[in-house]
Structure 1
Amino acid sequence: MKEIILNEDQVLAYHRDGYVIVRSFFSKAEIDKIYSTALEDDAMRKNAVDLNDQTGKKTRLTLWFTPGDDVYSLLIRSERMVRSAARLMEEDAPVCHFHSKLMQKAPRVGGAWEWHQDYGYWYKNQFMFPGQLVSVMTALTEANKANGCLQVIKGSHKMGRVNHGFAGEQVGADMVMVNNALKTMELVYCELEPGDALFFHSNLLHRSEANLSDRPRWSMISCYNAQTNPAYNETSTAYNVPVQTVPDEAILEWAGGAARAGSDFLKKEDDPALKDTGWESQVAT
Structure 2
Amino acid sequence: MSLSTLTPAQVADFHRDGYVLVKGFCSKEETEKMYRTAIEDDAMRKNALDLNDLSGKKTRLSLWFKPGNDVFGYLTRSEKMVKSVAKLLDSDAPVCHFHSKLMQKEPRVGGAWEWHQDYGYWYKNQFVFPDQLLSVMVALTEANKENGCLQVIKGSHKLGRVNHGFSGEQVGADMVMVENALKTMELVYCEIDPGDALFFHSNLLHRSEANLSDKPRWSIIACYNSQSNLAYNETSTSWKTPVDMVPDEAILEWEADSLSSADFLKKENDPALKETGWEKDVKSS
TM tier, shorter chain? over 0.9
Q: What does 1:1-285 correspond to in 2, within 5 Å? A: 2-259=2-259, 261-285=260-284
Gaps of 5+ in 2: none
SS in 1 for 2:109: coil
Partner amino acid, structure 2, of 1:88 = L
Partner amino acid, structure 2, of 1:84 = S
CA distance in 2, matches of 1:5, 1:109: 37
Query: Runs of 4 or more off by more than 3 Å in structure 1?
Result: 1-4
SS in 2 for 1:114: strand
CA distance in 1, matches of 2:2, 2:264: 33
CA deviations 1:80-107 (Å, max 9, x no partner) are: 0000000001111100000000000000
CA RMSD of the aligned region, Å?
0.7
Q: Structure 2 length normalisation: TM-score?
A: 0.99
SS in 2 for 1:218: strand
CA deviations 1:245-275 (Å, max 9, x no partner) are: 000011111011431x232100001000000
SS in 2 for 1:33: helix
Corresponding pairs, count: 284
CA distance in 2, matches of 1:278, 1:3: 45
Answer yes or no: is the 8 Å Cα contact 2:4–2:83 preserved in 1. no
Q: Structure 1 length normalisation: TM-score?
A: 0.99
Q: CA deviation at 1:23?
A: 0.2
CA distance in 1, matches of 2:113, 2:3: 34
CA distance in 1, matches of 2:257, 2:218: 18
Gaps of 5+ in 1: none
Answer yes or no: is the 8 Å Cα contact 1:47–1:265 preserved in 2. yes
Answer yes or no: is the 8 Å Cα contact 1:18–1:154 preserved in 2. yes
Partner amino acid, structure 2, of 1:280 = E
